[in-house]
Amino acid sequence: MQSDDKNINGQQHPNTPSFLDLLDQAASQPATALDKDPGTSLAQLRAAWNASWEQGGFLHGRWEELRQVPQAGWHGMANWIKALLVLTGMCAVVILLDTAGGVFDAALNRLADALPATQVGTSASDEFWGVVDNPIRTYIAQHTAGLPVSGAAIYTFWQITGLFGLVGGFIGATGARLTWTCWGAATVAVVWTTTPADGRTVATAIAVLAWTIASTAALRGCSLRPVVNNFPAPAQPAPAFQPQIEIRPEIHIPAPATAPDDDAPDNVHPFQR
């Protein structure tokens, strides 16, 4: 099959490839790709790496965003840097809370060992925490029979929600503080409902006290006093014409009326100014 491209005089172009030649070239390309040297791929990767660090490359742009963080501030930095900083901060807070919990647990154990050998003194911190934790586990296990999620997942979600409310409330997020308030109220209600009647009052009191102690951090800075903002009134534009008013303090004493000559006494004289 020959090409239909012809000159004006009806002759075929001498350098124009035919359709069969194009098919042969397309069929020979995969074979050429297979015969490449394995080192070519490494060279291409090296070239792509070098190109990404050049002006306008991907890695060069990210490095410039990192370099401009001190001048840009929080509002001017890139979103991926903000997400990385927030994730790092949350991980650090979780590690600090875990460490603080271990230190607090050890302090409670030492305090319990130092107290006299009574029923209250020999109670370990795990048993003290179990007053609140065990009713939560029991309530979740009793009310997750028909749900598509397991009780362990719901218990984990309950813990994550409390941690989110505590950390977010400490930062000052309004939504996190509302979450912390609802979470604590639901926890106290579950403890009251699930605990047996003999120890219900004490268990609920312990849950409320623990919640209020933690609320000193989660609700930091909150106040019940109403905030009144007195903003100054907007300045009124000056009129186009302002009359000039001049005020000068003066005292005017009128002269007394002159009496008739026949009735005027000798001791009356006009006031001289």
Q: What number of CA atoms fall less than 13 Å from residue 236's CA on the CB side?
A: 3
Two tokens, residue 162? 């409390």
Alpha carbon distance 273, 234 (integer Å): 53
pLDDT at 118 (0 to 100): 44
Q: What average pLDDT does the structure give for the chain?
A: 75
As a whole number, mean pLDDT of residues 125-150 equals 84
The domain segmentation of the chain, as residue ranges, is: 47-73, 78-123, 127-221
pLDDT at residue 12 greater than cutoff 50: no
Cβ contact 184:137 at 8 Å = no
Residue 47: is it exposed, middle or buried by C-beta count within 10 angstroms (0-12/13-18/19+)? exposed
CA neighbor of 133 nearest in space, from 187, 90, 176: 187
pLDDT tens, 152-190? 889 999 989 998 888 888 888 888 899 999 999 999 999
Strand partners, 6: 12
Cβ contact 188:211 at 8 Å = yes
The pTM assigned to this predicted structure is 0.43
